[in-house]
Amino acid sequence: MSAVPTQAGSWRTLETPLSDPILTTLDTMGFDTMTPVQAGVIPLFLKNKDVVVEAVTGSGKTLSFVIPIIEKLLRREHTLKNQEIGAVVITPTRELAQQIHSVFQLFVQDHEREEQIRLGLFIGGTSSLAEDIATFKQDHPRILIGTPGRLEELVTKTGQLVNTKELEILVMDEADRLLDMGFSKQLSNIISHLPKQRRTGLFSATMTDAISELVRAGLRNPVRIVVKVEDLNNKGNVQRTPSTLDIDYLVCDADQKLLQMKRILESELADEDGARKFIVYFATCAMVDYFYKILVRLQSLKSFSFHSLHGQMDTKRRSATYKAFTELSPAIPAVLLCTDVASRGLDVSDLDYVIQVDPPQDPKAFSHRCGRAGRAGRKGRATALLVRGREEVYVDFLKLRKIPLQRRPYIMADYSLFDNQARNTTEENDKTTSIQVEDGSLPSLIQEVRSIVKTDRDLHDRAMKAFVSWARAYSKHEASYIFRLKDLDLGKLAMGFGLLKLPKMPELKSQPETAFEEEKDIDWDTYKYTDKMREAKRLRELKEYQEKMKQPKPSQNPKKKGTVAWSDKIEAKERKQVRKEKKHAKKEYLKKQAQLEVENKKRQLEEEQEDLEELEQDYKKVKKGRSSKNTDFDELL
């Protein structure tokens, strides 16, 4: 394991000097000094060492492989020709690939030897394989950046199109997520088509057994580099998040989460030095879609530019959203609502604050979510919203995973802070350490959300879908002993969603008494969709239903039977008597069987009691030394 310098120096102090164009670009970007991970990795990469890098989110891992790749390709004795490539960078998501591509571009554009470090971005979704093949033939890229699926197709399924014989470097970024997402087969196929005499870099925030297997299969005598961060509040303790990132948690009731999220945004905007760029995490895609529609229409948040991003969006829309959010001026207050599709690898310029409305299903994603802020030495903040009660145990759970959290007070309407931590705490894990806050502003917010929902029946549908999807996601949480659906008041949560009525779902049957109050001021027959086609369909179905209800119901009285022959009556009576006797005989048989079972259980209990009494007597005899039996009983004492 290689030691990483705690105080990284200037770029010009590297043992193997960097080229002037690289240094000029670094100066232009404002990077005067290296981060610890950069100071540890770059010299080893330049000395032809394989590296396995475990470093906290936001530590500057990207430049740790971007710079060595460019330097090594420019220092080659023989230039790359025709379809030859010099480096491959594999990432788990399209967004991360695009981000890495943009970092490379800062160094490649306008370079006098650009043809030797030309870039190719291949991520699928935005283009077909045929289009990517045409792009490769036309541009002759030397550095391929992309996702496993499309890179596998290019490298292994296009004949001799991509010549890998001169490949210098392979990089697998966010390696743990590559494996978590099931890309091990694609990685193996790609690696099998690359020369063994290459340099390989494996970068990740965590190390797992699966990664160790990948290291053994794809790396040659690698140097392992671990960058640790010391907890400034508890010196000597190691944490998995950057020291420049402040992580806290806020405890509230289930119906107060939206209110507290709104007040965090408002209070930061009111502060001249407050945050301006936020990422807000929700549990499901349906929640992102629904709350985006709500938040953009809340009067108190009109100053914010809202964007939404999740895995069910098509690639072009995801790319457009990501680009629009990242390219906004730092002075414009902006919020990106998303799921875990953006929890790792994305480097959003000037991102100040991360809010987790819902903790992630996979606890490993918690630090990656928080790490979107406080990247590359910048100050950042992250807040997790926890429901008062059992969820508070999550703080201790994260502490064991070396992610320390500070408690944040409840935010009142005037942005003053109310300490809702109970003074008489208990050691029982299922007891809350917080007191309930009676917030007078909550009913007005719920009513405002409901008023928005009532403007379009589509919003009601989205709200119901979001609530049901949340319940399903919550019930599948990996830390299920903490996040238990039965411990929550789902009625309160539904109020926080602004639901007009509760959906029909089995989880609600176990909670007959909830805090939910159904919206009474609404006529469901006239509640319209703003979309004309959907509204026409609804009216058609409503009319069909109403006409069906008007039709006379079939008579409940049985029709009078015609005259039946006397002999047929006798036979029917006899058959009925036979059925009655069989039914009675079966009933008696089951009754006797039940009695026998009870008697057998009683007899078994009596025998067990006798055995226990006999064993106790033997024990007393042995203890007094008067037992004449020499049994194995002594060995059991």
Return the pLDDT at 432. 60
Render pLDDT for 365-385 as a digit per residue (tens, 0 to 9): 888 888 888 776 678 899 999
- The sheet that has 277-281: what strands, in order across it? 305-309, 334-338, 277-281, 353-356, 380-387, 245-252, 406-408
**What residues form DSSP beta bridges with 417?**
411
Q: Among 205-214, 299-308, 361-370, 420-429, whose mean pLDDT is lowest?
A: 420-429
For residue 402, give the DSSP letter: T
Q: How many CB atoms are located within 10 Å of the residue 84 CB?
A: 16
Q: Which two tokens stand for residue 408?
A: 């944040």
Return the pLDDT at 635. 37
CA atoms of 46 and 19, how far apart (whole Å): 12
Taking residues 1-9, report their average pLDDT: 54
Return the pLDDT at 6. 46
Give me the torsion for CA of 268, 269, 274, 277, rounded to 10°.
90
Return the pLDDT at 456. 96
**Please, are residues 295 and 533 in contact by the beta-carbon 8 Å criterion?**
no
The three-state DSSP-derived secondary structure of 94-111 is HHHHHHHHHHHHHHHCCC
Return the pLDDT at 535. 94
Q: Which helix (H) or strand (E) holds 400?
A: helix 393-400
Q: What are the φ/ψ torsions at residue 229 (nearest 5 degrees)?
A: -120, 130
Taking residues 609-626, report their average pLDDT: 64
Residue 229: strand, helix, or coil:
strand
Return the pLDDT at 323. 85
Domain ranges of the chain: 11-227, 241-442
**Please, are residues 44 and 14 in contact by the beta-carbon 8 Å criterion?**
no
Task: Strands of 253-310 (E only): list them.
Answer: 277-281, 305-309
Return the pLDDT at 42. 94
At residue 635's C-alpha, the angle toward residues 630 and 637, to 5°, is 110
**Please, are residues 201 and 51 in contact by the beta-carbon 8 Å criterion?**
yes
Q: Which residues of 111-137 are buried (b: 16+ CB within 10 A; e: fewer)?
A: beeeebbbbbbbbbebbeeeebbeebe
Give me the DSSP letters along 408-463. Answer: EPEE-TTS-EE--B-SS--S-TTS-SB-----TTHHHHHHHHHHHHTT-HHHHHHH
CA atoms of 231 and 242, how far apart (whole Å): 9
Q: pLDDT band at residue 345, thresholds of 50, 70 and 90?
A: low
Check whether 467 has a pLDDT greater than 70: yes
Render pLDDT for 494-520 as a digit per residue (tens, 0 to 9): 999 999 999 988 888 777 667 899 998
Give me the DSSP letters along 120-188. Answer: EEE-SSSS-HHHHHHHHHHH--SEEEE-HHHHHHHHHSSTTSSB-TT--EEEETTHHHHHHTT-HHHHH
Check whether 632 has a pLDDT greater than 60: no
Render pLDDT for 583-615 as a digit per residue (tens, 0 to 9): 888 888 888 888 877 777 777 777 767 766 666
The reply to whether CATH 3.30.70.2740 applies to domain 11-227 is no
| Maximum CA extent, the chain | 115
Q: How many CB atoms are located within 10 Å of the residue 414 CB?
A: 8
Render pLDDT for 155-196 as a digit per residue (tens, 0 to 9): 998 888 999 999 999 999 988 888 888 898 999 999 999 999
Q: Among 56-70, 337-351, 538-552, whose mean pLDDT is lowest?
A: 337-351
CA atoms of 128 and 413, how far apart (whole Å): 52
Listed residue (317, 380, 366) closest to 325, CA to CA: 317
Q: pLDDT band at residue 307, thresholds of 50, 70 and 90?
A: very high
Render pLDDT for 235-278 as a digit per residue (tens, 0 to 9): 555 565 666 789 999 999 999 999 999 999 999 999 988 999 99
Q: Which helix (H) or strand (E) holds 325?
A: helix 315-326
Which residue type occupies 25?
Answer: T
CATH pick for 241-442 out of 3.40.50.300, 3.30.450.40, 1.20.1250.20, 3.40.50.720: 3.40.50.300
Residue 217: strand, helix, or coil:
helix
Mean of the per-residue pLDDT values of the chain: 85
Return the pLDDT at 624. 66
pTM equals: 0.67
CA atoms of 547 and 558, how far apart (whole Å): 25
Q: Among 111-125, 203-217, 287-301, whose mean pLDDT is lowest?
A: 203-217
Return the pLDDT at 626. 47
Return the pLDDT at 633. 36
11-227 shares its CATH topology with 241-442: yes
**Please, are residues 136 and 162 in contact by the beta-carbon 8 Å criterion?**
yes
